Amino acid sequence: MQHAETTQGRPFLEARNIGKRYGGLHAVRDVNLSIYPGEVIGIVGDNGAGKSTFIKMLAGDHEPTSGELLIEGRPVRFSNPRDAKQAQIETIYQDLALCENLSVMDNIFLGHELTRNPVLRLLQRNKMHIESRVLLDDLGIGIPSTHELVVNLSGGQRQATALARVAKAGAKLIILDEPSAALGVRETRALLDLILRFRSQGKSILVISHEMRDVFEITDRIAIFKRGELIAIKRTKETTPDEIVSLIIRGRQ
Amino acid sequence: MTQSVTQPDRNAGGFNLFGFARSQEGVVVFLLVALMIVVAVFSAASPYFFDVRNGMNIGRAISIIGIASAFTTLLMIAGGLDLSIGAVMNAAGVVAAMVLTQTNLGVGGAIVAAVAVGALVGWVNGMFIAKLGINPLIMTIAMQFVVRGLTLGFSASASKVIVDPTFLAIGQSYFHIGPLAIPAPLLWMLLTMLVLWFVLRFTLFGKYVYAVGGKASACRRAGINVNVITIQLYMLSGIGAALAGVVLAAIQGAGIPYGAGSELSVISAVILGGVSLAGGIGLIEGTLVAVLLVGVLKNGMTLMGISSVFQMVAEGLVLVGAVTLDRLKRRL
Amino acid sequence: MYKAAGLAAALAVSLLGVAPIGAAIAQDAAANPTLTQDPGNPSQARHWVTYDAGAGAYRVDPSASGDTIGWSAAKAAKAADGALICFTAESEEFDWDVVLVNPSMRRAAEAAGVELLLLNNQYPSTTKPIENADICVQRGADLVVSFNVFSEIAPAIMTKYNEAKIPVIAMDVAHPGSVFYGADNCKTGALAAQFALQWAKDKNWPLDQLQVVAGVDPAVGGAPNCRNTGFVDAIKAAVPQLPASNYYDVDMRTGELGPVAGAIAATTDWLTAHPDAKYIIATSINDDRAYGIAQAMKQAGRGDAAVDGIVVGKNAEKVALDAVRAGDTPLVGTVSFFGNKYGDDVIPLALDILAGKPVPSIVSVAHEVISKANIDTHYPQ
In a domain, A208, yes or no: yes
B205 pLDDT more than 80: yes
| Predicted pLDDT at C2 | 46
What does the alpha-carbon distance between residue C239 and residue B75 come to, in Å, rounded to a whole number?
59
CA torsion C233-C235-C236-C237 (nearest 10°) is 90
Q: What are phi and psi of A20, to 5 degrees?
A: -140, 125
Which residues are within 8 A (CB) of B40 and not within 5 positions of it... i.e. 6 or more apart? none
Give the type of residue at C323.
Answer: A
What does the alpha-carbon distance between residue C306 and residue C319 come to, in Å, rounded to a whole number?
21
| Predicted pLDDT at A180 | 82
SS3 state at C47: coil
Do A118 and A65 sit in the same domain of this protein? no
Do A44 and A104 sit in the same domain of this protein? no
Is C4 part of the contact surface with chain B (CB cutoff 8 Å)? no
In a domain, B16, yes or no: no
Do C234 and C312 sit in the same domain of this protein? yes
C-alpha separations of B294 from B206, B270, B277, B301, B311 in Å: 26, 11, 19, 11, 10
In a domain, C153, yes or no: yes
Do A125 and A137 sit in the same domain of this protein? yes
**Positions of chain C with pLDDT lower than 70, given as ranges:** 1-28, 42, 219-222, 254-258
- ipTM for the assembly: 0.87
In a domain, C369, yes or no: no
In a domain, C295, yes or no: yes
| Predicted pLDDT at B57 | 83
User: Residue A244 sits in which domain range?
Assistant: 1-88+171-184+203-253
In a domain, B255, yes or no: yes
Mean pLDDT of all residues in A91-100 = 89
Instruction: Tell me how crowded residue A202 is: count the other CB atoms within 10 A of its CB.
Output: 12
The number of distinct structural domains making up chain B is: 1
Do C247 and C278 sit in the same domain of this protein? yes
> In percent, how much of chain B has pLDDT > 70?
92
Q: What is the edge-to-edge ordering of all strands in the sheet holding C368-371?
A: C247-251, C211-216, C280-284, C309-314, C331-336, C368-371
Sign of CA dihedral C148, C152, C155, C156: negative
**DSSP annotation of C114:** -
| Predicted pLDDT at B259 | 66
Do A80 and A175 sit in the same domain of this protein? yes
Is B205 part of the contact surface with chain A (CB cutoff 8 Å)? yes
C-alpha separations of B313 from B297, B303, B320 in Å: 12, 17, 11
User: Residue B123 sits in which domain range?
Assistant: 52-322
Rounded (10°) angle between helices C154-164 and C128-138: 10
- For B220, nearest residue in chain A (alpha carbons): A81
The number of distinct structural domains making up chain A is: 2
- Structure confidence by residue, pLDDT tens digits, C280-327: 999 999 998 999 999 899 888 999 999 999 999 998 988 899 899 999
In a domain, C244, yes or no: yes
Do C27 and C137 sit in the same domain of this protein? yes
Mean pLDDT of all residues in A136-149 = 90
The nearest CA of chain A is from the CA of B317 a distance in Å of 29
The nearest CA of chain A is from the CA of B25 a distance in Å of 13
pLDDT band (50, 70, 90) for residue B48: confident
A4 pLDDT more than 70: no
| Predicted pLDDT at B240 | 98
Do A71 and A178 sit in the same domain of this protein? yes
Is A115 part of the contact surface with chain B (CB cutoff 8 Å)? yes
Q: What are phi and psi of C62, to 5 degrees?
A: -70, -20
Contacts of C127 in chain B (CB under 8 A): 61, 64, 248, 251-252, 259
Is A106 part of the contact surface with chain B (CB cutoff 8 Å)? yes
In a domain, B18, yes or no: no
- Structure confidence by residue, pLDDT tens digits, B129-176: 999 999 999 999 999 999 999 998 888 777 788 889 999 999 989 999
- Structure confidence by residue, pLDDT tens digits, B56-67: 889 988 999 999
B261 pLDDT more than 80: no
- Structure confidence by residue, pLDDT tens digits, C17-75: 344 434 344 446 778 889 988 887 767 888 999 999 999 999 998 888 777 777 888 88
What does the alpha-carbon distance between residue C31 and residue B172 come to, in Å, rounded to a whole number?
26
SS3 state at C259: helix
What does the alpha-carbon distance between residue A84 and residue A72 come to, in Å, rounded to a whole number?
13
- Structure confidence by residue, pLDDT tens digits, B33-46: 999 999 999 999 98
What does the alpha-carbon distance between residue C234 and residue A191 come to, in Å, rounded to a whole number?
90
**DSSP annotation of A149:** B
In a domain, C374, yes or no: no
The number of distinct structural domains making up chain C is: 2
Q: What are phi and psi of A4, to 5 degrees?
A: -125, 55
Q: Alpha-carbon Rg of chain A, whole angstroms?
A: 19
C-alpha separations of C21 from B184, C56, C134 in Å: 11, 15, 14
Residue B62 belongs to domain with CATH number: 1.10.3470
C-interface mutation test, from B67, B155, B258, B306, most C Cβ less than 10 A away: B258
User: Residue C212 sits in which domain range?
Assistant: 185-336
Do A76 and A8 sit in the same domain of this protein? yes
Q: Are B102 and B173 in contact (CB under 8 A)?
A: no
Do C208 and C256 sit in the same domain of this protein? yes
Do C258 and C311 sit in the same domain of this protein? yes
In a domain, A190, yes or no: no
Rounded (10°) angle between helices B85-102 and B226-252: 60
Mean pLDDT of all residues in A77-97 = 88
Do C240 and C349 sit in the same domain of this protein? no
In a domain, B262, yes or no: yes
In a domain, C210, yes or no: yes
pLDDT band (50, 70, 90) for residue B11: very low
In a domain, B39, yes or no: no
C-alpha separations of C362 from C141, C294, C359 in Å: 22, 34, 9
Do C50 and C118 sit in the same domain of this protein? yes
Averaged confidence pLDDT in chain A: 90
In a domain, A189, yes or no: no
Contacts of B169 in chain C (CB under 8 A): 16-20, 23
Is A140 part of the contact surface with chain B (CB cutoff 8 Å)? no
- Structure confidence by residue, pLDDT tens digits, B264-320: 889 999 999 999 888 999 999 999 999 999 999 988 888 887 877 788 888 889 889
> H-helix or E-strand containing C360?
strand C359-360
Residue A66 belongs to domain with CATH number: 3.40.50.300
Is C15 part of the contact surface with chain B (CB cutoff 8 Å)? yes
What does the alpha-carbon distance between residue A46 and residue A225 come to, in Å, rounded to a whole number?
8
SS3 state at C57: strand
What does the alpha-carbon distance between residue A100 and residue B213 come to, in Å, rounded to a whole number?
10
pLDDT band (50, 70, 90) for residue A145: very high
Q: Alpha-carbon Rg of chain C, whole angstroms?
A: 23
In a domain, B7, yes or no: no
